[in-house]
Structure 1
Amino acid sequence: MSHVPHELAEEFPDLAQRISELKQSDRRFAHLAEKYHAVNREVHRAESSVQPVDELEEVRLRKERAALKDELYALLTH
């Protein structure tokens, strides 16, 4: 599979070290980061037609990814 866009370290390059630290030290952050990663992969597979889904499902996945990203950012900057 090609490079998957929207990985956390790419979304927040200035916070890459903090992402790594929180994945190790904060269970909630680690869980949310793993969930973000899984949803991001689903979005990528849908967008690249590797695993097509209907339009509503793709929109739902994108909204879920955005909500997770917002929650992760709040934890990163807290």
Structure 2
Amino acid sequence: MQLEKHTLINDFPEHHHTIRHLKMNDMHFAKLFENYHQIESAVHHIEEGNEAVSDEHLESLKKSRFGLKDQLYALIVKAENAL
């Protein structure tokens, strides 16, 4: 079974131009984006069964991913509203 990746572009395709712009022009956004991507990759790797970890660790990673996604989305909306 192929698991869905939760990249920002996949989850917010209507904001792909803003996401790309912010990645290139906003260092804070770029850092959060990189952290999000690393956690997303780790979660995906675990969920595919490639690594055994405790349920608590996986849930912690997912909570971190969710928090970062919230922060990133807020920055995306703020940037779009500033236009």
TM-score by length of 2: 0.88
Question: Alpha carbons of 1:3 and 1:27: their partners in 2 closer, same or farther (altered >3 Å)?
Answer: farther
Report the alpha carbon displacement of residue 52 of structure 1 after superposing the two structures with TM: 1.8
- Provide the aligned C-alpha RMSD in A: 1.3
Query: Residue deviations 1:16-71, cap 9 Å, x none?
Result: 01000000000000000000000000100111111221100000000000000000
Q: Specify the structure having the higher radius of gyration (Cα).
A: 2
Unaligned runs of at least 5 residues, structure 2: 79-83
- Return structure 1 stretches of 4+ with deviation > 2 angstroms: none
Contact 2:43 2:62 in 1 (8 A): yes
Aligned to 1:22: 22
Identical aligned residues as a percent? 36
For the Cα contact (< 8 Å) 1:4–1:41, is it kept in 2? no
